[in-house]
């Protein structure tokens, strides 16, 4: 059998893992690898004549069947990928941002040129999720996803919980250990998870979700006090990528911190581990968990995609039909203000008679029921911490409550998972 000939764009952590893994696979041949700097010291030994600093030597090479894009970002990755497709090449990518922002254009282009684009590594690293949804779970109507899709934020929140440390202290430690970037904005502000849930929801719901309709909120305002209070109440705080869709195609897709019951699997997904929980019919509830990043876990997904193409290459005129995207209909976006949630509210208020009653009255005037309200520590300046858990209510109403809490400081407002 002829070997499948591939070119790789990028030779960072994941690409190095892909290169190492492919050395043990006989029916794959690496033709060319594009890098920024050919002379840069690397953890992997690659023949120098295999390297180029011109990515177009990969995408325009007539001897290459598949282009593996592992540089991330929209540009110049999109230029390389689109050129490769027009040159008749199949694509394997781990680029979650490009998929979220240009997915529709990408899959329309691949279909026009009868190519395939596989992207298992772009959503949850080494966790197999896209191919199972497209194949084994294809007969299901999935209506809910709750997922931990970012290892950096999960590491930070876990350390805050276990060590009782502040966000700032744990972030610094995570950066020193290499779990967080020098500029961690993409992770801690929820961008990374938002890109991933955009594509995951699109695939699971079989309706296109637009990144601009995904609500996003990061973890930078989570306090160690919130961690302690959540534990007392029977919860853990996690950055959750959440997506639901109703029978009318209304999709509520968002990323934000949530209080997760300790009785659930997601509450016990710690450090850099990722997990995806899905609910559907007829499968019911399932959870897939594993390493969401890293050299070899992510390389595992990339290589799996390459081998999926290799298995059908040259045998059919229409390769991997189940893995292609045919999203003719868009999901109807649900605005976060129109959603209904339970809420955890941490308030610092004057330690005076009637304050708790006032909070209760403001909520009652908005038809918001309280599941619990507790006064915590009283400080020397005659203020006290009050923790409120609401029943389910509309987001816009809870924001009105916050605005009406005169003489009070709202420290945290965090949604509570059902």
Active-site residue numbers? 196
Nearest to 282 by CA among 145, 146, 143: 143
Contact 107, 81 (CB under 8 A): no
Biggest alpha carbon–alpha carbon distance for the chain:
83
Under 8 Å between Cβ of 40 and 16 = no
The residue among 98, 77, 135 whose CA lies nearest residue 304 is 135
> Residue 300 has which token pair?
């595992």
* Spatial distance between the Cα atoms of 172 and 31, rounded to a whole number of angstroms: 41
CA angle 193, 76, 308 (to 5 degrees): 65
**CA–CA gap between residue 26 and residue 31 (Å, rounded):** 14
**Adjacent-strand bridge partners of 67:** 7, 91
Neighbours of 291 (CB within 10 A): 17
SS3 72: coil
């Amino acid at each position: 059998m002829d070997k499948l000939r591939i070119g790789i764009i990028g030779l960072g952590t994941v690409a190095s893992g892909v290169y190492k893994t492919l050395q043990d696979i006989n029916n794959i041949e690496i033709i060319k690898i594009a890098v920024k700097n050919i002379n840069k010291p690397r953890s992997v030994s690659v023949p120098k004549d295999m390297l180029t600093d011109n990515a177009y030597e990969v995408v325009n090479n007539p001897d290459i069947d598949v282009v593996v894009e592992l540089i991330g970002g929209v540009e110049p990755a999109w230029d390389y990928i689109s050129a490769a497709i027009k040159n008749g090449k199949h694509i394997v990518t781990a680029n979650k941002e490009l998929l979220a922002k240009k997915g529709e254009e990408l899959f329309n282009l691949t279909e026009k040129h009868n190519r395939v684009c596989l992207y298992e590594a772009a959503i949850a690293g080494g966790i197999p999720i896209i191919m199972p949804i497209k194949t084994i779970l294809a007969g299901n109507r999935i209506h809910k996803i709750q997922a931990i899709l970012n290892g950096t934020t999960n590491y930070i929140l876990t350390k805050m919980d276990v060590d009782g440390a502040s966000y700032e202290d744990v972030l610094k430690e995570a950066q020193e250990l290499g779990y967080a970037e020098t500029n961690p904005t993409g992770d801690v502000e929820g961008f990374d998870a938002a890109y991933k849930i955009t594509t995951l929801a699109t695939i699971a719901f079989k309706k296109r979700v637009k990144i601009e309709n995904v609500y996003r909120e990061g973890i930078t305002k989570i306090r160690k006090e919130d961690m302690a209070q959540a534990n007392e109440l029977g919860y853990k705080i996690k950055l959750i990528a959440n997506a639901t869709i109703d029978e009318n195609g209304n999709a509520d897709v968002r990323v934000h911190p949530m209080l997760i019951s300790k009785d659930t699997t997601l509450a016990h997904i710690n450090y850099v581990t990722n997990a995806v929980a899905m609910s559907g019919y007829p499968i019911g509830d399932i959870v897939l968990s594993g390493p969401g990043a890293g050299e070899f876990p992510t390389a595992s997904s990339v290589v799996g995609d390459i081998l999926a193409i290799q298995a059908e290459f040259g045998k059919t005129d229409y390769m991997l039909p189940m893995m292609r995207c045919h999203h003719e209909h868009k999901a109807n976006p649900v605005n976060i203000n129109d959603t209904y949630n339970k809420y955890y509210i941490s308030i610092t208020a004057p330690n005076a008679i009637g304050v708790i009653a006032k909070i209760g009255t403001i909520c009652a005037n908005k038809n918001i029921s309280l599941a619990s309200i507790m006064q915590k520590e009283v400080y020397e300046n005659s203020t006290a911490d009050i923790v409120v858990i609401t029943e389910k209510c509309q987001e816009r109403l809870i924001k009105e409550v916050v605005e009406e809490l005169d003489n009070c400081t709202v420290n945290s407002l965090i949604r509570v998972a059902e």
